[in-house]
A and B are shown apart, each in its own frame.
Chain A
């Protein structure tokens, strides 16, 4: 009997302290599994692009580029809107030059950033609610390595934001309400409210307590669901009697049905 009684005591007391985290784990876990991860990552907000480079539009060559910018790394010939451009890294900063004459085009201004955001956005006729240049102290959802960046907020369901790099003129990241909620859910799931990293001491302590509390819970499940025969031999607990009378009540109910 002592195992049964102690289990009830410890399950009751431990759950007083970790029970709330069980709610947080199961609620945040449910949210994360029910929301499609590709939707969460905002993939459906991004327009599919299909542009091909025309030889006559590329008057400026890689050779000329390296002659002018000897330190250029990761050189890439692609598009900015409908214009063929080169992007490359120069002293860890992105630079864009025209593929027609090599003229530098970066950093881009507000109206160009807005155009690029619209071109990348899947829903045409999108209304933009605000545009902001971020050069320091980025919001939680943005990594500092993307700075400087233009933030374009759309006036649309789930309030999507597109972040367009001012130096590369590319969509570097995006967020919308359900992704922002997802990030918070993950933070609460791993109990790290700042870095969202699962290797923290708080999570360790709570998980260990939760594990112990659950083992006592499993013992209780055994005593409550094991055949009544077992229980009668284990002593005269008030609640055992109660559960026996309940099972008799259930049996009676089943008969009447």
Chain B
């Protein structure tokens, strides 16, 4: 049924805006308060603590005896799989050639490396002892190592990580965990209770609720947040139209 009456349809529009605003408020208010609350938290939080690096220390490098360095030709010939890069790195003060077999665009992308002793040419696997020692060398707290685990993605402390990591847990008041890349021995990072606390707020802000898909995705490109973002935008827009209308009608009076 069509209603060509202009006046009527205009009235209808304004009351629709108001009624939309009212009903949208019911749909989005919970998440809106979560967004505002977590937003305030990000504004006020201690950004140094949020990094999880309370007990991190810089790795020290030692002088190496370059006369003893193996020729890279030999290393390439001895390698089973082709390498696109060889980097001279240090692990626990010892020089190693890090062979890159596959490398993603970023360091957390799926990659494959091997580590070769730069003096002897022996292939070095990052085993549990090596991982513990590497983690210990980056840790300046007083805690002892509680456990060392090889973890596969998804890894709660580093959700974007796509590679297998060694997780070295320390006994300290912050429950520090140190992560070491299992194929390169590179220090991926530290995490602790402070960082996990901030991560929880990010989970809320990004609506990355693990209850919905079993595990958090670590991102904000998903249908739930997209849906709520659009609803919230409509909610704000109807509110703005309402405000403008109140202004036009002269309902903002200081008395």
Contact = CB atoms under 8 A, between A and B. Distances in A.
B40 A32 contact: no
Contacts of A181: none
A78 interface: yes
Nearest to A202: B43
Given A29-B229, A33-B221, A225-B22, A19 B239 contact: yes
Given A30-B230, A62-B66, A224-B22, A51 B221 contact: no
Interface stretch (B30-38, B138-146, B189-197): B30-38
Interface in B171-219: 219
A217 B82 CA distance: 64
A53 interface: yes
A50 B66 contact: no
B232 A29 contact: yes
Contacts of B43: 198-200, 203-204, 207
Interface residues of B, number: 56
Interface string B11-53: 0000100000010011001001101110110111101000000
A43 B104 CA distance: 11
B8 to A, nearest CB: 13
Interface in A47-101: 49-56, 58, 61-63, 66-67, 74-79
Contacts of A217: 25, 29
A35 B222 CA distance: 10
Nearest to A201: B43
Interface string B81-95: 011111110000000
Given A61-B69, A221-B22, A33 B226 contact: yes
B153 interface: no
Interface centre among B15, B219, B221 (most CB of A within 10 A): B221
Contacts of A193: none
B3 interface: no
Nearest to B231: A26
Interface in A132-190: none
B151 interface: no
A34 interface: yes
A124 to B, nearest CB: 19
Given A12-B246, A19-B243, A53-B82, A211 B87 contact: no
A15 interface: yes
B66 A27 contact: no
Contact of B73 (A51, A55, A66): A55
Interface of A: 12-13, 15-16, 19-20, 22-23, 25-27, 29-30, 32-37, 43, 46, 49-56, 58, 61-63, 66-67, 74-79, 198-200, 203-204, 207-208, 210-211, 214, 217-218, 220-221, 224-225, 246
Given A34-B229, A54-B76, A198-B42, 7 more contacts: A29-B232, A33-B225, A62-B66, A67-B66, A77-B85, A207-B43, A217-B29
24 contacts: A12-B251, A20-B240, A23-B233, A23-B240, A26-B236, A27-B233, A32-B220, A35-B221, A46-B105, A55-B72, A55-B73, A55-B74, A55-B76, A56-B73, A63-B67, A75-B87, A78-B86, A79-B85, A198-B39, A198-B43, A203-B43, A207-B39, A217-B29, A218-B33
Q: List the 4 closest pairs (A to B, CB-CB), nearest first.
A: A52-B82, A66-B66, A26-B233, A30-B229
